[in-house]
């Protein structure tokens, strides 16, 4: 296992930009290592793992504020994490329901277009007019 890496090495290994790492530092999601008198800052494996966690949480739809909250949990983290995950799950389920309604409405409109015998108007356009 690699003990520590430069910001460029971390960025390359994780497939992200250096500015992303710097942005996470500015947001307080990760700490910037001290700069030695000569040489480059070295990021420990713990920081690399934390960045990986941030990216995975973002991929699941968590915002950076929510991720910061997850990272700062100290007391009874499982209950608090569960609560946050349940809230996010509720939002995802709501979005899914909205998308299913949209899918049904679009499917109905496409079916009307396919069955349209009158080329002088489009049922889809007609349904969108006031």
Domain positions in the chain: 1-62, 73-130
Q: Mean pLDDT score of the chain, rounded to an integer?
A: 89
The model's pLDDT over 77-120, given as tens digits with 9 standing for 90+, comes to 788 788 888 998 999 999 999 999 999 988 998 898 888 888 88
Question: What torsion do the CA atoms of 9, 10, 13, 16 make, to the nearest 10 degrees?
Answer: -110
Torsion sign across C-alpha atoms 49, 17, 67, 58: negative
Q: 61: closest CA among 29, 87, 97?
A: 87
Q: Please state at what angle helix 45-59 crosses helix 64-72, rounded to 10 degrees.
A: 130
> Which CATH number is 1-62 given?
1.10.1660.10
Q: What is the pLDDT of residue 63?
A: 93
Yes or no: say if 29 and 69 are a contact pair by the CB < 8 Å rule: no
Containing 106, the helix (H) or strand (E) segment is: helix 77-114
The model's pLDDT over 33-82, given as tens digits with 9 standing for 90+, comes to 998 888 889 999 999 999 999 999 999 889 999 999 888 876 567 887 88
Query: Which residue, chain included where needed, has tokens 């991929």?
Result: 59
Kindly give, in sequence order, each residue whose CB lies less than 8 Å from that of residue 48, ignoring residues fewer than 6 positions away: 2, 5, 10, 13, 14
Containing 23, the helix (H) or strand (E) segment is: helix 18-27
């Amino acid at each position: 296992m690699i003990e520590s890496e430069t910001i460029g090495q971390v960025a390359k290994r994780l497939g992200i930009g250096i500015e992303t790492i710097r942005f996470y530092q500015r947001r307080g999601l990760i700490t910037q290592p001290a700069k030695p008198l000569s040489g480059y800052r070295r990021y420990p494996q713990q920081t690399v793992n934390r960045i990986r966690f941030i990216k995975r949480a973002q991929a699941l739809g968590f915002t950076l504020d929510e991720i910061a909250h997850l990272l700062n949990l100290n007391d009874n983290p499982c209950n608090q994490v569960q609560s946050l995950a349940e809230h996010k799950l509720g939002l995802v389920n709501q979005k899914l329901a909205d998308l299913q309604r949209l899918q049904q409405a679009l499917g109905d409109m496409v079916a009307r277009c396919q069955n349209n015998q009158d080329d002088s108007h489009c049922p889809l356009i007609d349904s969108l007019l006031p």
